Amino acid sequence: MENIDNTDQKILAELQRDCDLSLESLGERVNLSRNACWRRIRMLEEAGIIHRRVALLDAEKLGFGLTVFMQIRAAAHDAKWLDKFARATGAMREIQGVYRMTGDLDYLIRARVADMADYDRLYQTLISRVPMGDVSASFVMEEIKDTTELPV
Protein backbone atom coordinates (compact mmCIF):
# COMPACT_ATOMS: atom_id res chain seq x y z
CA MET A 1 0.00 0.00 0.00
CA GLU A 2 1.10 3.50 -0.81
CA ASN A 3 3.06 4.92 2.12
CA ILE A 4 0.27 4.62 4.69
CA ASP A 5 0.71 3.47 8.24
CA ASN A 6 -1.40 1.34 10.57
CA THR A 7 -3.41 4.37 11.76
CA ASP A 8 -4.24 5.34 8.18
CA GLN A 9 -5.35 1.77 7.55
CA LYS A 10 -7.65 1.94 10.59
CA ILE A 11 -9.10 5.24 9.37
CA LEU A 12 -9.70 3.78 5.90
CA ALA A 13 -11.36 0.67 7.35
CA GLU A 14 -13.71 2.79 9.48
CA LEU A 15 -14.56 5.17 6.63
CA GLN A 16 -15.36 2.24 4.34
CA ARG A 17 -17.92 1.06 6.88
CA ASP A 18 -19.37 4.54 7.52
CA CYS A 19 -17.94 7.64 5.87
CA ASP A 20 -20.55 9.73 7.69
CA LEU A 21 -18.80 9.29 11.06
CA SER A 22 -18.07 12.52 12.86
CA LEU A 23 -14.39 13.32 13.29
CA GLU A 24 -14.87 12.90 17.04
CA SER A 25 -16.31 9.39 16.66
CA LEU A 26 -13.65 8.42 14.14
CA GLY A 27 -10.93 9.74 16.45
CA GLU A 28 -12.25 7.64 19.33
CA ARG A 29 -12.23 4.51 17.17
CA VAL A 30 -8.65 5.01 15.93
CA ASN A 31 -7.21 6.74 19.04
CA LEU A 32 -6.53 10.13 17.47
CA SER A 33 -7.71 13.67 18.05
CA ARG A 34 -10.35 15.21 15.81
CA ASN A 35 -7.75 17.46 14.12
CA ALA A 36 -5.28 14.62 13.57
CA CYS A 37 -8.05 12.58 11.91
CA TRP A 38 -8.96 15.51 9.68
CA ARG A 39 -5.33 16.03 8.61
CA ARG A 40 -4.88 12.33 7.80
CA ILE A 41 -8.14 12.18 5.81
CA ARG A 42 -7.08 15.27 3.81
CA MET A 43 -3.69 13.64 3.13
CA LEU A 44 -5.41 10.42 1.98
CA GLU A 45 -7.68 12.45 -0.31
CA GLU A 46 -4.78 14.47 -1.74
CA ALA A 47 -2.86 11.24 -2.40
CA GLY A 48 -5.87 9.89 -4.30
CA ILE A 49 -6.34 6.96 -1.92
CA ILE A 50 -9.75 8.34 -0.98
CA HIS A 51 -11.11 9.52 -4.30
CA ARG A 52 -14.83 9.77 -3.60
CA ARG A 53 -17.37 9.41 -0.81
CA VAL A 54 -20.76 7.98 -1.72
CA ALA A 55 -24.01 6.69 -0.25
CA LEU A 56 -24.78 3.01 -0.82
CA LEU A 57 -28.41 2.52 -1.81
CA ASP A 58 -30.72 -0.47 -1.49
CA ALA A 59 -31.21 -1.56 -5.12
CA GLU A 60 -34.24 -3.74 -4.36
CA LYS A 61 -36.11 -0.95 -2.57
CA LEU A 62 -35.44 1.32 -5.55
CA GLY A 63 -36.82 -1.19 -8.05
CA PHE A 64 -33.56 -2.70 -9.33
CA GLY A 65 -34.08 -6.22 -8.01
CA LEU A 66 -32.19 -8.16 -10.67
CA THR A 67 -28.40 -8.29 -10.98
CA VAL A 68 -27.09 -9.54 -14.31
CA PHE A 69 -23.60 -10.40 -15.49
CA MET A 70 -23.27 -10.12 -19.25
CA GLN A 71 -20.43 -11.99 -20.95
CA ILE A 72 -19.35 -10.24 -24.14
CA ARG A 73 -17.27 -11.39 -27.07
CA ALA A 74 -16.16 -8.45 -29.16
CA ALA A 75 -17.15 -8.18 -32.81
CA ALA A 76 -13.75 -6.62 -33.54
CA HIS A 77 -10.48 -6.18 -31.69
CA ASP A 78 -9.48 -2.67 -32.58
CA ALA A 79 -9.37 0.75 -30.93
CA LYS A 80 -12.43 2.04 -32.80
CA TRP A 81 -14.65 -0.82 -31.56
CA LEU A 82 -13.33 -0.50 -28.01
CA ASP A 83 -13.97 3.26 -27.97
CA LYS A 84 -17.52 2.75 -29.22
CA PHE A 85 -18.10 -0.02 -26.63
CA ALA A 86 -16.66 2.09 -23.79
CA ARG A 87 -18.79 5.12 -24.72
CA ALA A 88 -21.96 3.03 -25.07
CA THR A 89 -21.57 1.15 -21.78
CA GLY A 90 -20.43 4.31 -19.98
CA ALA A 91 -23.64 6.09 -20.99
CA MET A 92 -25.95 3.31 -19.75
CA ARG A 93 -26.78 4.00 -16.11
CA GLU A 94 -27.92 0.43 -15.39
CA ILE A 95 -24.40 -0.79 -16.09
CA GLN A 96 -22.37 -0.65 -12.89
CA GLY A 97 -19.14 -2.24 -14.04
CA VAL A 98 -17.38 -3.14 -17.28
CA TYR A 99 -14.24 -5.27 -17.18
CA ARG A 100 -11.86 -6.42 -19.92
CA MET A 101 -11.11 -10.07 -19.20
CA THR A 102 -8.61 -12.80 -19.93
CA GLY A 103 -9.80 -16.20 -21.09
CA ASP A 104 -12.72 -17.17 -23.31
CA LEU A 105 -14.71 -13.95 -23.09
CA ASP A 106 -13.55 -10.44 -23.82
CA TYR A 107 -15.65 -8.31 -21.45
CA LEU A 108 -17.80 -8.81 -18.38
CA ILE A 109 -20.57 -6.35 -17.59
CA ARG A 110 -22.33 -6.07 -14.22
CA ALA A 111 -25.73 -4.37 -14.33
CA ARG A 112 -28.78 -3.81 -12.12
CA VAL A 113 -32.21 -3.89 -13.73
CA ALA A 114 -35.80 -4.17 -12.53
CA ASP A 115 -36.67 -7.51 -14.12
CA MET A 116 -36.25 -9.67 -17.25
CA ALA A 117 -38.14 -7.20 -19.44
CA ASP A 118 -35.84 -4.43 -18.23
CA TYR A 119 -32.82 -6.64 -18.97
CA ASP A 120 -34.14 -7.23 -22.49
CA ARG A 121 -34.43 -3.46 -22.98
CA LEU A 122 -30.82 -3.05 -21.78
CA TYR A 123 -29.64 -5.85 -24.09
CA GLN A 124 -31.49 -4.43 -27.11
CA THR A 125 -30.09 -0.96 -26.45
CA LEU A 126 -26.53 -2.23 -26.11
CA ILE A 127 -26.56 -4.33 -29.28
CA SER A 128 -28.13 -1.46 -31.23
CA ARG A 129 -25.23 0.80 -30.23
CA VAL A 130 -22.29 -1.60 -30.65
CA PRO A 131 -21.87 -4.66 -32.87
CA MET A 132 -21.23 -7.73 -30.72
CA GLY A 133 -19.65 -11.07 -31.52
CA ASP A 134 -21.65 -12.83 -28.82
CA VAL A 135 -23.57 -11.89 -25.69
CA SER A 136 -24.67 -14.24 -22.94
CA ALA A 137 -26.04 -13.44 -19.52
CA SER A 138 -26.17 -14.92 -16.04
CA PHE A 139 -28.69 -13.73 -13.48
CA VAL A 140 -28.02 -13.55 -9.75
CA MET A 141 -30.40 -15.74 -7.76
CA GLU A 142 -28.95 -14.86 -4.34
CA GLU A 143 -26.37 -12.34 -3.18
CA ILE A 144 -24.24 -14.12 -0.61
CA LYS A 145 -21.62 -11.38 -0.29
CA ASP A 146 -21.49 -7.99 -1.98
CA THR A 147 -19.23 -5.35 -0.52
CA THR A 148 -17.32 -2.26 -1.55
CA GLU A 149 -14.82 -2.60 1.32
CA LEU A 150 -11.17 -3.21 0.46
CA PRO A 151 -9.18 -5.37 2.91
CA VAL A 152 -7.00 -2.62 4.41
The three-state (H, E, C) secondary structure of 55-121, written as one string: CCCCCCCCCCCEEEEEEEEECCCCHHHHHHHHHHHHHCCCEEEEEECCCCCCEEEEEEECCHHHHHH
What confidence tens digit (pLDDT) does each residue in 16-72 have?
999 999 999 999 999 999 999 999 999 999 999 999 999 999 999 999 999 999 999
Give the residues across from 113 on adjacent strands: 66
- Does 70 share its domain with 135? yes
CATH classification of the domain holding 133: 3.30.70.920
- Does 135 share its domain with 80? yes
- Does 72 share its domain with 40? no
pTM metric for this prediction: 0.88
Q: How confident is the model at residue 3 (pLDDT cuts 50, 70, 90)?
A: confident
In a domain, 79, yes or no: yes
What confidence tens digit (pLDDT) does each residue in 76-132 have?
999 999 999 999 999 999 999 999 999 999 999 999 999 999 999 999 999 999 999
Task: Write out the residue range of the structural domain in which residue 36 sits.
Answer: 6-46
- Does 42 share its domain with 71? no
In a domain, 31, yes or no: yes
Kindly tell me the burial class for residue 143, based on how many C-beta atoms sit within 10 Å of its own C-beta (0-12, 13-18, 19 or more): exposed
